Amino acid sequence: MKIDFSHEPLVQLPSSVVVVYGFEGAAAATGTAQRLPAETRALLDELQTSGELTGKSYECTLVHRPAGLAARKLLVVGAGKKEKSGDAHLRRLVGTAVRYVRGRGIHDLAWVLDSGEVPPGAVQAIAEGAIAGDYDADCYRTERESERRIDRLELATGGGSSDEAAVAALERGRVIAEAQNFSRDLVNEPSNRMTPTSLALRAQQMAGHFGLDCRVLGPEEIRDLKMGAFWAVAQGSDEPAKLIVLNYAHPDAAHAELIGLVGKGITFDTGGISIKPSENMHEMKTDMAGGAMMLGVMQAIAQLKPVARVVALVPATENMPSGKAYKPGDVITSLSGKTIEILNTDAEGRLVLADALTYARQLGCSVLIDAATLTGAIMIALGNITTGVFGWSKEWVERVLGSAAAVGEKMWHMPVDEDYRDLYKSSIADLANTGGRYGGAITAAMFVGEFAGDTPWVHLDIAGTRWSNDEKPYLAKGPTGAGVRTLVHLLSNLPA
Ligand code: BES
Ligand code: MN
Ligand code: ZN
């Protein structure tokens, strides 16, 4: 999608459809609808009186041959209650317009900006909403929804000019939303097409394209390095395990913190010998969403170039039952030296994260952030809407939550507490890999945290937010790219 500013008077915009929004109860006289010429607003007043135009959230009203405008169509998007405002709201309104319009065979639109100077944050949100909205997860359908993609979006100022900051914000929004969509593409792939090997290839292609350093360790290296926890999970699969390592360093950041991003990369989670029930097992192709999130983040920062030092690690493997698979009762030795009793082979995510975190510390990381589709328990607690945030470091947990709030991603601080530690004690090893049903997301997070040692660490459980079970007016059903925007914001706003 090409996105540009347009400075034509609104009445002369040449796009197929001009888009405005208005709030509930007074859609014709609020939001950007009030920027329309009197003649057009009179038309909207009529629709409002007849009850066709209410301004309720995401309502779309298409007017053909709108009086007073050169454009052949006018779309009014309902903005809901007047108190709803801000960039997060704007992002959704634009996404709604894009999805509505392309569903009607229109490929170009003009989004009318608020009058006066449009703040960079709003421009960025508009670009993000449009590009994320124009995504569909139907790449294996022969007749694709996404063939109806939007080619062109004009950001209509109605006159005047757009400054450098606005143009930069537009570019920033494009980079971030494309990174989010890249992450969604990876999560969307089924496990027969997204093996650890193909995930590593996709990472290498991305790194080559955007100038990142990328290294991939194979099975022998993983074993030789003594990553016993990662290896235990990998040993049951015929697909070779891969540890993907990406590096980004800004030349002025030689002394900055080395941030380690660790993403769970289970390309399919059958549960292993503690096999999952077959109902919904197909959803476990998404069990590499944490890894996909980190790859998306790296794609974005490679282009945005924040003053930061970042290494991303994605331990990638399948979790399979087989004659070679690890079994309940096994005791394994992790890279850290800590021994782990396996009580359930379906608690595999924490094992691959354990060794990847230890390795990140060996590489010198001074801050660790991991993301994982770690537990069903977080879905029970927070549903598909909110990501669970865990960690001992108040400072870094708050940083993550602050970034999430700034970019409109829903995240919630969940507790960690010494008192839960007893739950994952083992009678024969240092730790057990499960802590029982109660507080399952907390004990899983804390297990992972044991391998961060005294390094500040934040854990994001995205088991719920990785996927949207239903189509939203502004976003397709399927992979969400959760977390990408938050971490890009965090890495772009590090303390000096
Ligand atoms: N990948 C799953 C968690 C998951 C569940 C992600 C549903 C997305 C949707 C994870 O590996 C898992 O199986 N966790 C177990 C842990 C249990 C065995 C302690 C769970 O949550 O049931
Ligand atoms: Mn599992
Ligand atoms: Zn899993």
Q: How is 25-51 classified by DSSP, letter by letter?
A: T-TTTSGGGGGS-HHHHHHHHHHHHTT
- Exposure class string for 273-294: b at 16+ Cβ within 10 A, else e: bbebeeeeeeebbbbbbbbbbb
- Convert the pLDDT of each residue in 72-119 to its tens digit: 999 999 999 988 889 999 999 999 999 999 989 899 999 999 987 789
For residue 25, what are the contacts with CB-CB under 8 A and spacing of at least 6? 54, 55, 82
Pocket test for ligand 1, best of 187, 191, 346, 442 (most atoms within 8 A of CB): 346
Does residue 39 sit in helix, strand or coil?
helix
Closest Cα to atom 5, ligand 1: which residue?
376
Residue among 291, 293, 313 at smallest CA distance from 487: 293
Using the atom order of ligand 1, give the atom closest to the CA of residue 466.
Answer: 8
Cα 276 to averaged position of ligand 1 atoms, centre (Å): 9
**Contact criterion met (CB below 8 Å) for 315 and 352:** yes
Beta bridge pairs of residue 315: 243
Does residue 125 sit in helix, strand or coil?
helix
Residue among 352, 181, 203 at smallest CA distance from 263: 352
Phi-psi region of 7 (alpha: psi -120 to 50; beta: other; left: phi over 0): alpha
Q: Tell me which residues are annotated as active site.
A: 276, 350
Residue among 342, 349, 347, 350 at smallest CA distance from 326: 342
Ligand 1 contacts CB of residue 434 (under 6 A): yes
Closest Cα to atom 9, ligand 1: which residue?
463
pLDDT-based confidence at residue 12 (cuts at 50, 70, 90): very high
For residue 83, the model assigns a pLDDT of 84
Q: Angle CA(126)–CA(413)–CA(390) in degrees, nearest 5?
A: 110
Rounded percentage of the chain residues whose pLDDT exceeds 70: 99
With tokens 């209509």, the residue in question is 156
Cα 345 to averaged position of ligand 2 atoms, centre (Å): 7
Ligand 1 contacts CB of residue 376 (under 6 A): yes
Closest Cα to atom 7, ligand 1: which residue?
376
- Among all bound ligands, the one having the nearest atom to the CA of 445 is 1
- Convert the pLDDT of each residue in 194-242 to its tens digit: 999 999 999 999 999 999 999 999 999 999 999 999 999 999 999 999 9
Ligand 1 contacts CB of residue 461 (under 6 A): no
pLDDT-based confidence at residue 163 (cuts at 50, 70, 90): confident
**Contact criterion met (CB below 8 Å) for 41 and 28:** yes
Does residue 86 sit in helix, strand or coil?
coil
**What's phi and psi for 330, nearest 5 deg?**
-60, 145
Ligand 1 contacts CB of residue 343 (under 6 A): no
Q: CA 234 → CA 37, 319, 342, 470, distances in Å?
A: 64, 7, 14, 33
- Convert the pLDDT of each residue in 306-319 to its tens digit: 999 999 999 999 99
Segment 41-48 shows an average pLDDT of: 97
pLDDT-based confidence at residue 146 (cuts at 50, 70, 90): low
pLDDT-based confidence at residue 179 (cuts at 50, 70, 90): very high
Flag whether pLDDT at 151 surpasses 80. Answer: yes
Cα 56 to averaged position of ligand 2 atoms, centre (Å): 41
Beta bridge pairs of residue 319: 269
- Among all bound ligands, the one having the nearest atom to the CA of 439 is 1
Cα 186 to averaged position of ligand 3 atoms, centre (Å): 16
For residue 115, the model assigns a pLDDT of 81
- Among all bound ligands, the one having the nearest atom to the CA of 281 is 1
- Give the whole-angstrom CA distance, residue 10 versus residue 22: 16
First-to-last C-alpha distance (Å) of the chain: 35
- Among all bound ligands, the one having the nearest atom to the CA of 469 is 1
- Give the whole-angstrom CA distance, residue 226 versus residue 365: 19
Cα 223 to averaged position of ligand 3 atoms, centre (Å): 21
- The conformation of residue 117, written as its DSSP 8-state character, comes to P
For residue 408, what are the contacts with CB-CB under 8 A and spacing of at least 6? 86, 87, 88, 91, 125, 485
Closest Cα to atom 17, ligand 1: which residue?
347
Ligand 1 contacts CB of residue 349 (under 6 A): yes
Cα 132 to averaged position of ligand 3 atoms, centre (Å): 26
